[in-house]
């Protein structure tokens, strides 16, 4: 019986891989079409994740100059999405539908007493996709094992092309305890480290995605890895970007952390100056809040 189940899983995974390859071809074609469109010469504006419920705690901020980590403008983004839809239709690509029996097998694996087995089930869920897979991945952030929680972060990261939207949903729907676990897992899984390095990348799309992921992590209360980046990252541009990101997150512990950084003699003068400016800006916003209310 177990051998038969494994065969079904491998068959499903092979089918998913084939569909993913076709989808990637379609997406590459869509990117080409979107690039050729060149709809606008206007400055790019960031596109924030959609928060359908109106809960803006985990919405990415609108980033103004001089913080140069902007994505494509809204019009180009819409053309890009429409182009994908057209190419998918032309190529006959269909969304991957969940096989209830496969989902059930994955759910049983997540009940294993072996944390390594539970962690190993999560990448397969990410490949399977769908709401049932999302629910199992999100619930795994409550697992007692850090190995499993970190695997859940990586699975959620791979579940959907709009990675920031996946984490936005998980944070919005999660309990305070689950949110903290998600933030910690973003750091523990290595996703945050990769995102920090991507802040200095040449791709605006990847840079904005990285900024969004790190912003969500900060809003979930996980800021230590970001503070560490300000202190130690070899790229000054990354340090400055992280300072701006933390200032946007408006977390209560940020000012205290920034004040500790400001008196560190080992920080480059440009970084220390940015920290001081961020402290001033956050303080000004706090003073303006009562009158704005």
Asked if 11 and 102 sit in the same domain, the reply is yes
Alpha-carbon distance values, 28 to 11, 127, 160 (Å): 26, 20, 16
Asked if 124 and 79 sit in the same domain, the reply is yes
> Which residue bears the tokens 């429409």?
82
Asked if 14 and 121 sit in the same domain, the reply is yes
Per the model's pLDDT, the better-predicted residue between 251 and 120 turns out to be 120
CA nearest neighbour of 152 among 165, 136, 129, 131: 136
* Within a domain: 174: no
CA nearest neighbour of 212 among 58, 93, 75: 58
Structure tokens at 217: 């992590």
Structure tokens at 125: 């869920």
Asked if 12 and 143 sit in the same domain, the reply is yes
Mean pLDDT of 206-234: 95
Asked if 132 and 227 sit in the same domain, the reply is no
Per the model's pLDDT, the better-predicted residue between 61 and 239 turns out to be 239
User: Does the CA dihedral 225-226-227-230 come out positive or negative?
Assistant: positive
Asked if 16 and 97 sit in the same domain, the reply is yes
Asked if 111 and 248 sit in the same domain, the reply is no
The CATH number of residue 13's host domain is 1.25.10
* Within a domain: 65: no
Range of the domain at 108: 7-20+72-168
44: pLDDT strictly greater than 70: no
Q: What is the model's pTM?
A: 0.67
Q: What percent of the chain has pLDDT over 90?
A: 52
Asked if 99 and 205 sit in the same domain, the reply is no
Asked if 14 and 135 sit in the same domain, the reply is yes
Per the model's pLDDT, the better-predicted residue between 231 and 286 turns out to be 231
Domain count, the chain: 2
* Within a domain: 140: yes
* Within a domain: 186: no
pLDDT of residue 8: 61
Mean pLDDT of 228-240: 95
Asked if 195 and 162 sit in the same domain, the reply is no
Asked if 161 and 211 sit in the same domain, the reply is no
* Within a domain: 252: yes
154: pLDDT strictly greater than 50: yes
* Within a domain: 45: no
SS (H, E, C) 37-49: HCCCCCCCCCCCC
* Within a domain: 182: no
Model confidence over 5-27: pLDDT tens digits?
A: 566 666 666 655 665 666 566 66
* Within a domain: 127: yes
Asked if 164 and 198 sit in the same domain, the reply is no
């Amino acid at each position: 019986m177990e051998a038969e189940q494994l065969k079904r899983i491998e068959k499903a995974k092979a089918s998913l891989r084939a569909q993913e390859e076709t989808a990637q071809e379609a997406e590459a074609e869509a990117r080409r079409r979107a690039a050729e469109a060149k709809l606008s010469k206007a400055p790019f504006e960031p596109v924030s994740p959609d928060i359908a419920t109106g809960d803006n705690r985990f919405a990415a901020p609108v980033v103004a100059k001089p913080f140069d980590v902007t994505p494509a403008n809204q019009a180009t983004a819409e053309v890009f999405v429409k182009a994908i839809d057209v190419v998918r239709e032309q190529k006959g690509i269909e969304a991957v539908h969940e096989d209830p029996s496969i989902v059930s097998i994955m759910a049983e694996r997540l009940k294993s007493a072996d944390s390594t087995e539970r962690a190993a089930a999560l990448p397969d869920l990410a490949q399977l996709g769908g709401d049932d897979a999302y629910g199992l991945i999100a619930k795994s952030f409550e697992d007692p094992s850090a190995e499993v929680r970190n695997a859940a972060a990586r699975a959620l990261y791979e579940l959907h092309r709009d990675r920031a939207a996946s984490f936005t949903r998980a944070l919005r729907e999660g309990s305070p305890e689950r949110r903290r676990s998600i933030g910690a897992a973003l750091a523990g899984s290595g996703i945050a480290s990769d995102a920090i390095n991507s802040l200095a990348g040449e791709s605006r799309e990847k840079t904005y995605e990285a900024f969004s992921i790190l912003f969500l992590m900060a809003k979930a209360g996980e800021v230590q890895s970001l503070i560490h980046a300000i202190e130690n990252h070899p790229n000054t541009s990354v340090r400055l970007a992280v300072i701006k990101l933390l200032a946007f997150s408006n977390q209560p512990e940020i000012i205290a952390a920034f004040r500790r950084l400001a008196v560190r003699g080992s920080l480059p003068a440009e970084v220390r100056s940015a920290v001081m400016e961020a402290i001033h800006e956050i303080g000004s916003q706090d003073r303006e809040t009562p009158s704005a209310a």
